[in-house]
Amino acid sequence: TMVPAVYGCMDILATNYNASANMNDTTLCVYPAGCMDSLACNYDPTVVLDDGSCDYNTGSIDLSAHTWYLDYVTSPNAWTVTFDTTNLTFLISAIPGNPATSGLTGTYTFCNDSLILSSNTVTGWNLSYSAPGFSGYLTGSSVSYTMVPVVYGCMDILATNYNASANINDTTLCVYPTGCTDSTACNYNPAAVIDDGSCLTAYGCTDSTALNYNPLATCDDGSCIPIIYGCTDRTAINYYAGANV
């Protein structure tokens, strides 16, 4: 039996698959196009042709705009993290004075505010963004992490410019109250952290009108004797026992 030839696309993956065709014409086939990379934010498992539209960074913020502070919630260990948004890589560095390993590099995806950091030695941090930073867990672990923008500042509570919002200490920024730190001085300042050489420790009478005035004294010790004029000659008729001059 002879039937008329029906040319059409006979590939069931094509969007214009023709079930009535009996002669396949692949030039007619139209295939769904999109992103075929499963690591991309806009991966589409239904597409057949990759149209170069893959997007790997659709978070609501620019990761490269900050240096980030990544730390355990239950541990003193912490690092700084910088991102290369062109190559989709990251670098973890140790904070000075922190024993944590530094120099860890890897790649990341940031899709719809979900950030995943991966390297050869770490299975991956899974973090979600909620201003002002991220929180989440290491893959396969219940240890929680946070990652917020680095804030450098003086973290010494004795400094006048102590910054409670800082997460990385910069001692070069600290300003300390100055004054006399010698507790034996009459101008001792218990709030002073840095001695400014102003301590006064020479005790004596500082009243220049007193009988025992000491011009070398810098701290009055309450020993001043007032001058009382009168006759100090015991043989005189007007002798005054209270006089000292």
Query: Can you name the residues that pair with 82 across neighbouring β-strands?
Result: 91
Number of residues written out for the chain: 245
Range 174-186 average pLDDT: 97
pLDDT of 77 > 80? The answer is no
Range 22-47 average pLDDT: 91
How far is 129 from 102, CA to CA, in rounded Å? Answer: 24
**Contact call for residues 227 and 245 (beta carbons, < 8 A):** yes
Range 83-109 average pLDDT: 81
Range with the largest mean pLDDT of 37-51, 62-76, 157-171: 157-171
Neighbours of 101 (CB within 10 A): 12
pLDDT band at residue 184 using 50, 70 and 90 as cut-offs: very high
**Contact call for residues 60 and 129 (beta carbons, < 8 A):** yes
Q: Which helix (H) or strand (E) holds 104?
A: strand 104-111
**Contact call for residues 64 and 84 (beta carbons, < 8 A):** yes
**Contact call for residues 226 and 240 (beta carbons, < 8 A):** no
How far is 217 from 167, CA to CA, in rounded Å? Answer: 48
Which token pair is 94?
């140790």
pLDDT band at residue 120 using 50, 70 and 90 as cut-offs: confident
Query: Can you name the residues that pair with 153 across neighbouring β-strands?
Result: 169
> Cβ contacts of residue 57 below 8 Å, gap of 6+?
41, 63, 85, 88, 109, 110, 111
